[in-house]
A and B are shown apart, each in its own frame.
Chain A
């Protein structure tokens, strides 16, 4: 029995299929222990919703040979154990997961609120970013705190969230010379990306503020505050409020 592959509309059953067929992704090997599943080549919410939908579906189906599922802006990296799972079986598994993926879920759950103090001390690049775009630091803060962002992926260091939805007026390239140490909680911009440093680390992002929240905390029952697929918005707070929250 021939079945239409995902992405092909079978004229005989078009009405019975879900209204939106997933874009058939490009599947490429990354060595012999991982596959990259690419849904496109852009930072676009429709693309990363498919990444997350497939990621969730694979997680739910579960397979002992699948070791790690790493969703990013426009692709999914699946790490597997070739001893437990042959490549053919893995591909079949992925195809089945793709066929079963319904229209990607709209934004799920609540919007996480992240308090941020946008000031020159906690955001040492705030003034420069403002000057670069012909804005005041206050405007930069207001523009940055306006949207609801999608957490597209978490990477680089434990818990570091990469967000999409940055206002084009704030797009700023990385610093020429990265800092040796960016404190945990720092909120930054790198090109079209914005994110939050989850642990102290070197970094080249433009830092415009800081949150008193611990984005990554091993002592917490769930160390990761922010997960791929979450949504968040930044809530500007005063320096005083920052100090109170940071040391409570």
Chain B
């Protein structure tokens, strides 16, 4: 869900950006380390301990065989990302290392981790241990009241002008029915011009649909690939990590940016990330 947190965590331990790591939702994670490695926890603001002693997040840490790593309940945000040097070793299914819970495949036997599971770690990519802290500009501005930047469309013309104004000015609350497929919001109704249904077409994470009840929903990492509701806007890639950290009760607002601006933001971010990853490789 939080691609920035995942990629930075991987970079901090010298992994490839897309190596497999562990996504921890609502904390409560505890694991014993088998053999010495580097690890890093990014994402939500949560207490991370090594053998009971607090360690910083967004920072490379070192663990030895027998050490216990624990990730606690997030005090702000929702999902933590734990990467270890060498990456988690899981089979590639249809080109991906991720878990698809709904289909029951991918990742670790297609399911969430459970007590007693033993995870294999791959061989580390770089031999030297480099301890570093993620540069500040790479950490997304997580918030319980984020302003999400969107590009309007492709079906904003199927929303009334008043509806678009409502969408861009009102505050929406994250409901408990949210999950990895989508963030369901509550708040002022957004009115359709011709009704909520469209002929089903393609959807991607970040798309904001407006179903019959007029309350927007933000599609997330496990969303379906086609959808039949009006799509008023798409959250820009740089703000998807903010979406990934929304817990029930969080309040969101939307603001429109141009397509050109959205591209600029993305390319700048990508450059920052690449520079950081390269710097890790060159000093290792």
Contacts and interface: CB of A to CB of B under 8 A. Distances in A.
B257 to A, nearest CB: 9
A164 B225 CA distance: 18
Contacts, number: 100
A83 B267 contact: yes
Interface in A206-224: 218, 223
Given A30-B234, A87-B263, A156-B224, A36 B154 contact: yes
A107 interface: no
Nearest to A216: B103
B151 A29 contact: yes
B93 A218 contact: yes
B204 A30 contact: yes
**Residues of B in contact with A, size category:** 20 to 34
A79 B237 CA distance: 13
A82 B150 CA distance: 16
Interface in B220-277: 224-226, 231, 234-237, 259, 262-263, 266-267, 270
Interface stretch (A14-22, A70-78, A93-101): A70-78
A92 interface: no
A72 B201 contact: yes
A153 B150 CA distance: 27
A41 interface: yes
B266 A82 contact: yes
A29 B260 CA distance: 11
B122 interface: no
B199 A74 contact: yes
A162 B199 CA distance: 12
A45 to B, nearest CB: 13
B163 to A, nearest CB: 18
Contacts of A74: 199, 201
A158 interface: yes
Contacts of B103: 157-158, 199
Given A82-B267, A157-B224, A77 B202 contact: yes
A226 interface: no
A218 B94 CA distance: 9
A214 B266 CA distance: 41
A32 B154 contact: no
A155 interface: yes
A182 interface: no
A36 B204 contact: no
B224 A33 contact: no
Contacts of A82: 263, 266-267
A30 B224 contact: no
A42 interface: yes
Interface residues of A, number: 34
Nearest to B265: A32
A196 interface: no
Given A156-B226, A157-B224, A223-B94, A32 B266 contact: yes
A120 to B, nearest CB: 28
B77 interface: no
A158 B206 CA distance: 20
A139 B234 CA distance: 45
B153 A33 contact: no
Centre residue among A32, A43, A72 by max chain B CB count within 10 A: A32
Contacts of B234: 29-31, 34
B237 A34 contact: no
Contacts of A111: none
Contact of B102 (A87, A155, A157): A157
Contacts of A70: 202, 225-226
Contacts of A33: 204, 237, 266
8 contacts: A30-B153, A31-B151, A33-B266, A34-B202, A75-B202, A83-B270, A156-B226, A199-B104
Given A32-B236, A155-B224, A156-B225, 4 more contacts: A29-B151, A31-B206, A73-B199, A76-B202
Interface of A: 28-34, 36, 38, 41-43, 70, 72-77, 79, 82-83, 87, 153, 155-158, 162, 193, 199, 201, 218, 223
